[in-house]
Structure 1
């Protein structure tokens, strides 16, 4: 045999053996899913598998960590998909360092507030709730409002609260937030374990704010709620000694909304009955008679008393800011509240609304209130006041505020002024029957030198004579008396 033919046979034999060895080695290292394999529905592919060319991955397949899909597949990358677990209950409260605000509303946070679009980070009259999705069915809620007891957020499957609806309660526990997870049963709140944690809270006067993470719908509740819910904010009383929670009164209630959509338009379906109060800012300068007769119209009892120094002085002033807007000052001795009202008539039956400055545990709570037709107590109503500041000390309540008054039929600022005192319950926020102390003639509020008379003859008035402005008719009367005396002397 030709030597060249022999060598060729040897090389061919060795080559075939080498290729067989390579193929066997390659088959032992190849992944369990190999070429031209089809994965159909409801298949699970788990850790560190390599899926190579011409494979098809179809619906309902779960692909978990570190899997790689290469070649001509339906999708070159299959990402891991994980559903966030429900929140574990933990209602421990830590301090809320950053105030609740509306800066993310419509962007990352769905919001509802009363009044509409108010900013809860600014002290004042603002009830607020915000919801931001944090993963799956878990949402971070932000809650703010004014109450000496508690504020609460609730979620419901319909536009009305029902039994076993979760209520997340942030209570004023002697100046710090105490959190309760509760459900509504027969109109009362009962504590219940709920999927809620990461609670933060703060109390500033009557302003309560808190944030928390909750699962919606809550898997710990016996009935499964719909994914779309209505939100509400309510207030109620809280007894720090017994821990008792009073029945909730709704301030905000929305229609059913999609919590995952921050751009959802949200309206308060009970806005017309909202109870509003304002936590007054700090009044750094005491109210005084400075400016009386020149820049502001003043009413006082006793006559010309100075509210900055006198131990007993009921005082009201009005200074025009133009366009029917006035700055009002109010001061008086009371353990409950002092209040002022404007009326186009001197009849007490025509007094419709009081501006109330109440002593709320050493700070001023401001509200507008109308006499209840049944018991004459003051029911809080909406008001358009701004720039509210106040102080409480030594039995004296003082506050300043700004508001716009409507034109009257007789003159643009023709009003009778009433000033009253009354009791106030800092827990229930009930303002008692007003005890009228001053009722003036109809005045031009824009005229600092207007003659002011107290039309009341009640023994509640400290001074029995008229409350007259220090630049009143008194100088004219003295001059007239002097002329009469001089004439009588000449006639003798």
Structure 2
């Protein structure tokens, strides 16, 4: 039986402050979450593993999409997130300015492995030792569902600001996207196992991770200089200089021969 569960936080901003072993205080209702590749690279930024997998199919597909609203200083941009994956514990989206240093914001869509009930967490992961701690992130409009090991969820991150650790413009939206899974023990969250690191992407640009098609080979234009036509003797009826000399020589010889015969 499909267990669609929605967290009722439509207009309510949720402060997720529980510790790693804590439990959330969120109510649920049945819902359906439909996630497809429609709009990828055009209206939403998509990241997935394996490449080009179908989040609406039955194959194992860890998929996320991001739609960024126009940034508003000083809070940054609001991101609308779709997340889908296969896990008997949890799937998670991470946002990090540098996945090897500092921290990563983790947004976790999970199922209680004892009751198969959907729940949601936000946590901070130390990028050096992968330790998880509870945090406060502004998240709204959370919707989630569980069907066997398939977990799907949608939520809005109300203010994403890459300046938190870099000092860049408050409207900076460049971050690395991390995707991964983990285990649950009831509502407790286990270690995050990273499956994908996108590298830095502009979350506001749906095509920022689209590989350009191979450019068509450049056409080299070779300029061929036509060979000059060979010069033909007596071309155009003109008498060539060597012909004039030859004619004079013949005339001189004829005069000499005639003069010799008269003597």
Same fold by TM-score, threshold 0.5 exceeded?
yes
Distance 1:201 1:228, change over 3 A: same
Aligned position for 1:167: 106
Aligned position for 1:181: 122
1:252 aligns with 2:252: no
1:203 aligns with 2:122: no
Kindly report which structure 2 residues correspond to 1:52-71, keeping only aligned pairs within 5 A, or say none: none
Q: Distance in 2 between matches of 1:157 and 1:236?
A: 22
Q: Secondary structure at the match of 2:189?
A: coil
Q: Which of the pair has the greater relative contact order for Cα pairs under 8 Å at 6+ separation?
A: 2
Distance 1:227 1:189, change over 3 A: same
1:151 aligns with 2:100: no
In the TM superposition, residue 232 of structure 1 has moved relative to its aligned partner by 1.0
1:213 aligns with 2:156: yes
In the TM superposition, residue 161 of structure 1 has moved relative to its aligned partner by 4.7
Contact 1:90–1:198 (Cα < 8 Å) also in 2: no
In the TM superposition, residue 129 of structure 1 has moved relative to its aligned partner by 0.9
State which of 42, 46, 51 in structure 2 corresponds to 1:107: 42
Contact 1:257–1:264 (Cα < 8 Å) also in 2: yes
Contact 2:173–2:204 (Cα < 8 Å) also in 1: no
In the TM superposition, residue 227 of structure 1 has moved relative to its aligned partner by 2.5
The alignment of Structure 1 onto Structure 2 pairs a total of residues equal to 177
Structure 1 vs Structure 2 CA RMSD: 2.4
Q: Distance in 1 between matches of 2:31 and 2:180?
A: 20
Q: Distance in 2 between matches of 1:140 and 1:264?
A: 17
In the TM superposition, residue 237 of structure 1 has moved relative to its aligned partner by 0.7
In the TM superposition, residue 138 of structure 1 has moved relative to its aligned partner by 0.2
Q: Secondary structure at the match of 1:262?
A: coil
In the TM superposition, residue 191 of structure 1 has moved relative to its aligned partner by 1.4
Q: Distance in 2 between matches of 1:130 and 1:245?
A: 23
Contact 1:195–1:218 (Cα < 8 Å) also in 2: no
Aligned position for 1:127: 62
Q: Distance in 2 between matches of 1:228 and 1:96?
A: 32
Q: Distance in 2 between matches of 1:183 and 1:155?
A: 10
Q: Distance in 1 between matches of 2:195 and 2:210?
A: 14
Q: Distance in 2 between matches of 1:123 and 1:247?
A: 26
Distance 1:101 1:239, change over 3 A: same
Q: Distance in 2 between matches of 1:224 and 1:164?
A: 15
Q: Distance in 1 between matches of 2:100 and 2:120?
A: 20
Aligned position for 2:177: 231
In the TM superposition, residue 90 of structure 1 has moved relative to its aligned partner by 4.8
Q: Distance in 2 between matches of 1:157 and 1:204?
A: 33
Contact 1:257–1:266 (Cα < 8 Å) also in 2: no
In the TM superposition, residue 94 of structure 1 has moved relative to its aligned partner by 5.4
Pick the structure with greater CA Rg: 2
Q: Distance in 1 between matches of 2:97 and 2:29?
A: 30
